[in-house]
């Protein structure tokens, strides 16, 4: 997988970052395939990447550690897959990410994995 050079200059460039990239995804759909390859490619580029462990998503609520990881990440890569929006965990995580983007100025980039962007936008099933 080829990852282009990414610039992280943003309005929040003085914010104390612990992670360059935060990957948001629905685990069982992408964890061992696409996300694994993407995570590896980002690390090879020297980017400190946060990938939520699948075991964390089995709880009912997002942990404080995960909320802090979101607040301390420069860029978010949202991997929308077929079942992403069926997970309240993923949707709560997405809300927090978008709140941080608005307040702190992080960069958000969506990837549509095996799903049409219009299906996600309009919540359609084929």
* Active site (annotated) includes residue 99: no
Which has the closest alpha carbon to 25: 35, 37, 40? 35
| Distance between CA atoms of residues 109 and 78, nearest Å | 6
Name, in order, each residue with C-beta under 8 angstroms of 4's C-beta and a sequence gap of 6 or more.
Answer: none
User: Which among 28, 93, 99, 125 is annotated as catalytic?
Assistant: 93
Which residues are marked as active site? 93
């Amino acid at each position: 997988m080829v990852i282009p050079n990414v610039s992280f200059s943003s309005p929040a460039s003085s914010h104390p970052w612990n992670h360059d990239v935060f990957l948001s995804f629905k685990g069982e759909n992408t964890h061992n395939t696409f996300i694994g390859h993407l995570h590896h490619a980002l690390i090879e580029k020297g980017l400190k990447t946060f990938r939520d462990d699948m075991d964390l998503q089995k709880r009912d609520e997002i942990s404080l550690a995960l909320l802090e990881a979101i607040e301390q990440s420069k860029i978010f890569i949202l991997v929308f897959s077929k079942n992403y929006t069926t997970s309240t965990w993923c949707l709560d995580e997405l809300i927090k990410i978008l709140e941080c983007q608005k307040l702190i100025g992080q960069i958000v980039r969506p990837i549509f994995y095996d799903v049409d962007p219009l299906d996600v936008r309009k919540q359609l099933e084929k």
